[in-house]
Amino acid sequence: MAVTARRYGAQSMTAELREVLVKRPGAAFGRAFDDPANGYLHPVDLDVAQREHDEFTELLASLGPTVHVLDDVVDATLDDGIDDPDLVYTFDPLLVADGGAIPLRPGKPNRLGEPEILERWTSANGIPTFGRIEPPGTIEGGDTFWLMPDLLCIGRTLRTNATGVDQLKRIVGGDVRVFDVPYWKGSAELIHLLSVISPVADDLAVVYLPLLPVGLWELLSDLEIRLVPVPDHEFPTLACNVLAVRPGVVIMAAGNPVTAAALANAGCEVHTYPATEIGINGSGGPTCMTRPILRG
């Protein structure tokens, strides 16, 4: 199918990002710190979070993608029925494969209603549901990434269990590799697979080596993918969470000069946005805040 005829399909982390879905932080995000189970670091300044998110989406749109905003569809449902701040991180509840949407089933309890909300949006926009993760399976988008269009990597973590992995493997088919992600600090400071790797071009990835699964490191080596290592002091400020808008053109959280310089030295065009409230507080970077609908 010609690129101009495609309306969905994002089996890549680095091909040109054409259509993307975001959710602006609202009242639920402002209340995030009230429940310790949400895992936010301090009380949310909602005004700052909204300004940061607006700056991020304006930057994203300026680089070419069409940015769709979920807010108009779900704000009433979200704030009246589902007190969930994490829907701002639209990457986690859903995949959009070449065959259509795949609603996932988050392992974080407050996020269980999110896949239905995103599926409502995809259905309204003509994207068929290709498959879904059913109980007792759990899987979050942050534990998945396409290393190549025909190679899906999945991390098994405290929020992505073996049942969820097996279901997604059957839905997607083809070459699927599974890696156990380190326990690290447990559920209180959980890491996804995409916490420790961000592909930014066909032959380049940002990685946090201390937590990178050895099997994944071996796969990257076999494929001759160059690595940009994140230093220890920039890991907590989301330096390893980098969004490729197209190969070598990336967006990352401000305040990570070592990683930004290393990316520039590797030939990347680097753009940054402020991420204190929208990112660091909720532990979600630019990849987390975007659900690619169409790439390539």
Mean pLDDT confidence for 222-232: 98
Q: Tell me what pLDDT residue 3 has.
A: 47
- HSE on the CB side for 294, CA within 13 Å? 18
Q: Tell me what pLDDT residue 80 has.
A: 39
Residues 6+ apart with CB under 8 A from 262: 228, 229
- pLDDT 10s digits, 171-226: 999 999 999 999 999 987 899 999 999 999 999 999 999 999 999 999 999 999 99
Residues 6+ apart with CB under 8 A from 39: 188, 189, 190, 282, 283
- pLDDT 10s digits, 77-122: 444 345 799 999 999 999 999 999 999 999 999 999 999 999 999 9
Q: Tell me what pLDDT residue 1 has.
A: 40
99 — phi, psi (to 5°)?
A: -85, -10
Q: Tell me what pLDDT residue 82 has.
A: 57
Q: Characterize the bridge pairing of strands 94-97 and 249-253.
A: unpaired
- pLDDT 10s digits, 275-290: 999 999 999 999 999 9
Give dist(CA 153, CA 30) in Å, integer: 33
- Say if residue 75's pLDDT is above 90: no
Domains of the chain, earliest start first: 8-295 (3.75.10.10)
Q: For all residues of the chain together, what is the average pLDDT? A: 94
Number of other CB atoms surrounding residue 45 within 10 Å: 14
Q: Tell me what pLDDT residue 71 has.
A: 73
